[in-house]
A and B are shown apart, each in its own frame.
Chain A
Amino acid sequence: MTVKQAAQAWQFNIPEDELDRIAPVVEDVTAALERVLDRDLSTTDPLPHFRPTHS
């Protein structure tokens, strides 16, 4: 689903011009995260404790 399709499906009501500006940014960030997770996230990596300094 594209950013624009998602905005419509979830009824975000973001004006078209604003959606045009943020769509490429959302796509870039999502793709960058996907690369990171594909490369480095292991199935056994746990969710950190709510307090990241506790362990």
Chain B
Amino acid sequence: MDLTITELAPKIESGELSPVELTRHVLDLIEKRQPRLNAFITVTAEHALAQARQAEQEIRNGHYRSKLHGIPYAAKDLFYTKGIKTTVGSKIMDDFVPDFDCAVIEKLSAAGAVMAGKAGLHEWAYGITSNNPHYGSIRNPWGLDRIPGGSSGGSTSALAGGLCSFSLGSDTGGSIRIPASFCGLVGLKPTFGRVSRYGVFPLGHTLDHAGPFGLTVSDTAEVYRAMAGGDSRDESSVHRPLTQPKFAPEPSLAGRKIGVPQNFYFGQLHPEIEAGVRKAISVLGDLGAKLIPITVPDIEEFNTVARVILLAEATSVHEKRLRERRGDFGADVRALFDQGRFVRAADYLNAQRRRRALLDGFNELLSQVDAIVTPTIPVPPAKIGQDTLVVAGVEHNVRLATTRIVRALNLTGLPLLSVPCGLTNENLPIGLQIIGGLWDESGILEIGHAYEQATDWHTKHAPIATE
């Protein structure tokens, strides 16, 4: 069954497809594939069936809420869900049951969506492999011996594995874009402040964003629309009108200016990824976009700045737990939290002061172009347990190589979209990252949609999803 929202919503609205039957179908697939993918920490079958029954009743009574009504989804297990365990991928919170829904879950419930389960993640959302010592390694549907990326790896494993129609993630240093790219999905990190983080367990207070994953750009836009909006309970969120993306039936980018960086982003790339991304950029040109060479600020510098800020902020969230339950942390995240204890207050503040320069640099570029395109990740997904990989004859640490392109951009708060744009010779997905101006989610979604219309990468599915 085609699980895209675009395909399912009209059938649900017309009564042709029962939300209860759809939910049962998805729960059956989860039962079959979960042992191989390990995408979920908690499958919320009873909750999902109750929501589906309510949706069916409401639609039958003429109360169709939105295109998400009756649509099944997975939420990363750091979105607080009332009465449903929320572990944040940790042992320490393995029995934590929130007594309220986070803002995003409230909004999706109001839209009528059906939550099928809580998806696994890298412990505390602090890592890119989703190899979780407490809940097991999450597997990439495109290659079961590969990482799905992280930290939102369960959300993309579930979606690319055909176990839901959309999913939710969070992105502090790439945790939406990395797993989207590795699992051949669309992932949107909205502008900082666009989506409420009320009830989303934090990692880095000034870097965290919540956002959606979809099978297509239009599906992702639909979920984003439902999630977005200011919230007085989250001081960092902003009440600001939402512009709707205009998706033309015929793909065209005529009149758009797209910046193509000449420095940093195309260095140290896996050759098949470079070829895939350059081909994608040429498609944007064929669609009428004017491709403009640009020079971006010193991203390596800002990767350092972002790293220091995240080390300090993440440790500020966890230091008490680290003192009291040190042995209950996985070794990799414990090492990161320990590193954060050594960041001096003056260094943290000076890193924050330096941060402004990156945003100013990108704002200047984005006053000359409508968007900037780069690869999402410079390397293909590593094998589970692999610590290093070789690109162009040089050995790299998997974590640093994977985050190299995505990390610094979280400093800017700019909206970022990853769309699938190819497959490597080993049949592993490649992603194209589209960087937009502040609050211009519509612009990057429109560019992503036009690209998607002109290509067929979004129609390729992971082997397990077609069983």
Given contacts A45-B354, A46-B356, A53-B193, contact A3 B236 (CB under 8 A): no
Assess whether B238 is in contact with A33, with CB atoms less than 8 Å apart.
no
B359 touches A (CB below 8 Å) = yes
Q: B262 on the interface (CB 8 Å rule)?
A: no
Interface size on B, residues (CB 8 A): 38
**Taking the nearest CB of chain B, how far is it from the CB of A52, in angstroms?**
5
The interface bits of chain B over 350-371 (1 if a CB of A lies within 8 angstroms of the residue's CB, else 0) are 1111111101000000000000
Q: Most chain-B Cβ atoms within 10 A of its Cβ — which of A26, A32, A41, A53?
A: A53
Stretch at the interface among B161-169, B273-281, B337-345, B449-457: B337-345
Cβ-based interface call for B413 (8 A): yes
Interface residues of A in 29-51 (CB under 8 A from B): 29-30, 32-33, 36-37, 40-41, 45-48, 50-51
Cross-chain contact B304 with A12 (CB below 8 angstroms): no
Which A17-32 residues have C-beta < 8 A from chain B? 18-19, 21-22, 25-26, 29-30, 32
Q: A12 touching B341 by the CB < 8 A rule? A: yes
0/1 per residue, B279-312, Cβ < 8 Å to A?
0000000000000000000000100110110010
- A32 to nearest B CB, angstroms? 4
Contacts of B94 in A (CB 8 A): none
Residues of B contacting A: mostly: helix
Evaluate whether A41 and B238 lie within 8 angstroms (CB atoms) in the complex, with A26-B339, A32-B304, A33-B308 already known: no
Which of A3, A40, A52 is within 8 Å of B206, CB to CB?
A52
- Given A18-B334, A30-B347, A32-B304, verify A10-B356 contact (CB < 8 Å): no
Report whether A3 and B342 are in contact in the complex, using a CB–CB cutoff of 8 Å: yes
Asked whether B339 lies within 8 Å of A25 as measured between CB atoms, the reply is yes
Interface centre among B206, B311, B356, B439 (most CB of A within 10 A): B356
Whether the Cβ atoms of B304 and A29 lie closer than 8 Å is: yes
With known contacts A33-B305, A46-B353, A18–B335 Cβ distance under 8 A: yes
Please tell me if the beta carbons of B335 and A22 are within 8 angstroms of each other in the complex. Answer: yes
Whether the Cβ atoms of A29 and B307 lie closer than 8 Å is: yes
Residues of B within 8 A of A50 (CB): 206, 235-236
- Distance in Å from the Cβ of A39 to the closest Cβ of chain B? 8
- Alpha-carbon gap, A21 to B347, bound state (A): 22
Contacts of B335 in A (CB 8 A): 18, 21-22, 25
Which 5 A-B pairs have CB atoms at the shortest separation, nearest pair first? A53-B413, A32-B304, A45-B353, A26-B342, A52-B413
With A33-B347, A52-B192, A52-B355 already in contact, 20 other A-B pairs whose C-beta atoms are closer than 8 Å: A6-B342, A13-B323, A18-B338, A22-B338, A26-B342, A30-B342, A30-B343, A33-B350, A36-B354, A37-B354, A41-B350, A41-B354, A45-B354, A45-B357, A48-B359, A50-B236, A52-B206, A52-B356, A53-B191, A53-B413
User: Can you list 12 A-B pairs, Cβ within 8 angstroms, ordered by A?
Assistant: A13-B323, A14-B338, A18-B338, A33-B308, A33-B350, A36-B301, A45-B356, A48-B352, A51-B192, A52-B192, A52-B413, A53-B193
